[in-house]
Structure 1
């Protein structure tokens, strides 16, 4: 399987605005430069549904949402959605007895299709603080590798942050850290070989 495809290397931010009943559909999605904007009517679609639909729509086009930014929403809710989106998680405020504390639940055989479930009425700032541990409990292998990537970013002094961010997204998407690292090493070896060949002096027959 080829992991480093052009589509997987293309990530975007998704900005969410609250609309009203005058818009044609419950949720609208449009492109704005290098980002996407979704506008939803809260009377016809919940915030969580609007975000999920936008992510699914973009995913079907080979586009990964690396960051969800709520515009004009509660600051704690905005911070929570942004942090969860960086882990490719949806957020659901759950009512009823099925959720007693914040937890990441993988809802299908695909581990990347996961949701951060938060009991209704739970303090959102507390839920944000619990997110790393909840994610690690649901996807421990990926969580360990993300920590290593963050450490590598610190040790590199920010020189290769973008490349490491791409690696992190690929690890999250594929659930295959070893496969991602193998392909990255192959790519680096190929680039190094091409540069060495190009720099070598031409031989005279």
Structure 2
């Protein structure tokens, strides 16, 4: 059974920008409230590497990266990174014969959108939902159910649904998340008139 930790509820946004050649480390991380900024030295680390390392480091600090926003990068690359981050995935630009088109792959708890170098980024973004659903059908199915519930609720429980979706993405265990949340939700229900009498 999934045990939900406080760190899985601690979602943060990370803004990534190119650093300067004079920065001390390949990756410099700063914090502003619930947002983190990452400056990376392209001579010493790739953007993909900087994003992955930042996600891993923040996880060890008890944070879950829920959104990555690139500053001063190509708009198509920025859109792709943002969309992948919302699905809790890294991006890896690959070379070689094994990856011939964009595909989602998992390694343990980590998932990446593998995009061949030189691939049209707008096309990669268009293919992302199908690639994600193919690799993680159960997760994609549950996210669709949550989105449907959000539309039907008229915004009344958006925050609860957003937390549920975040936990499902982070744990990869929808049934475990529902099992953990159900007792909590039951305890927050107001007493019925009959029981209150």
**What is the CA deviation profile of residues 120-159 of structure 1, one whole-angstrom value per residue up to 9, with x for unaligned ones?**
1111000001001101111111111011111111111222
Q: Which has the higher contact order (CA 8 A, sep 6+)?
A: 2
Q: Which residue of 1 aligns with 2:144?
A: 147
Q: How does 1:189-204 map to 2 (within 5 A)?
A: 189-192=186-189, 195-196=190-191, 200=196
For normalisation by structure 1, the TM-score amounts to 0.90
- Residue 174 in 1 paired to residue 171 in 2? yes
> Unaligned stretches of 5+ in structure 1?
none
Q: 2:163 & 2:129 partners in 1: Cα distance?
A: 19
Q: 1:162 & 1:127 partners in 2: Cα distance?
A: 30
Q: How does 1:30-49 map to 2 (within 5 A)?
A: 30-49=30-49
> Unaligned stretches of 5+ in structure 2?
none
1:5 Cα deviation after fit = 2.9
1:116 Cα deviation after fit = 0.4
Q: 2:196 & 2:148 partners in 1: Cα distance?
A: 36
Give aligned pairs, total. Answer: 195
Q: After TM superposition, where is structure 1 displaced by more than 4 Å over at least 4 residues in a row? A: none
Find the partner of 1:126 among 123, 127, 131. 123
- Residue 113 in 1 paired to residue 110 in 2? yes
Q: 2:144 & 2:104 partners in 1: Cα distance?
A: 18
1:2 Cα deviation after fit = 5.6
**What is the CA deviation profile of residues 37-65 of structure 1, one whole-angstrom value per residue up to 9, with x for unaligned ones?**
11101111100010001100011122100
- Residue 61 in 1 paired to residue 61 in 2? yes
RMSD (CA atoms): 1.7
Q: Which residue of 2 aligns with 1:158?
A: 155
Q: 2:2 & 2:137 partners in 1: Cα distance?
A: 24
- Residue 79 in 1 paired to residue 79 in 2? yes
For normalisation by structure 2, the TM-score amounts to 0.93
